[in-house]
Amino acid sequence: MSDSKPSAVVRPAPLSPHLQVWRWHVTMAASIATRATGIALYGGFLIIAIGALCLAAGSDAYADFTGIMGTFLGRLVLFGVTVSIFYHMAAGVRHLVWDFGKGFEPKTANLSAIVCFAFGLVAAIVVWIIALMTGAA
């Protein structure tokens, strides 16, 4: 390089540390769970869209759909979708609070992560208790 202007020094792009070298903590688990439940809800959306399609296709197709969702595996998937809805909802509200620059103190962030996990589980269990009591499950 003969020119006097400083040329751009190209370094390899910085990499964030891999999962294995992080100490496991609740905010990290909450972050991973937010993404994981988001991906799960992508699948949940497809299931519900197929349900709508079956309903539009007629009573036989709809009976097939409700039959499959009524099996143990189907209920397990739907329970997972319910947990994902409530967890992802709470995590989303947490992110909206962060967008206003609040809630980043380690104690607050740890607490809000625990609240999200608790809300996701408790709200889903309450919904399924209601479902069992009303004959929905």
| DSSP letter string, 12-44 | PPP-PPPGGGSPP-HHHHHHHHHHHHHHHHHHH
Q: Could you tell me how far CA 59 lies from the centroid of its own chain?
A: 32
Closest CA to 95 of 31, 38, 36, 22: 31
Residue 38, interface with another protein (CB under 8 A)? yes
**Site mask, another protein, residues 15-34, x = CB under 8 A?**
--------------------
* Residue from the set 8, 15, 19, 21 that interacts with another protein by CB under 8 A: 8
CA quadruple 103, 105, 110, 112: dihedral, nearest 10: -10
Residues in the chain: 137
DSSP 8-state assignment for residue 100: T
- Residue 135 binds to another protein (criterion: CB under 8 A): yes
DSSP 21: G
Least distance in Å: CB of 21 to another protein? Answer: 18
Q: How far is the CB of 41 from another protein (least distance, A)?
A: 7
Residue 132 binding another protein, by CB under 8 A: no
83, amino acid identity: V
Q: Which of 26, 29, 77, 93 binds another protein (CB under 8 A)?
A: 93
Q: Which residues bind another protein (CB under 8 A)?
A: 3, 7-8, 10, 35, 38-39, 41-42, 45-46, 48-50, 52-53, 55-56, 59, 62-63, 66, 82, 85, 89, 92-93, 95-96, 99, 127, 130-131, 134-137
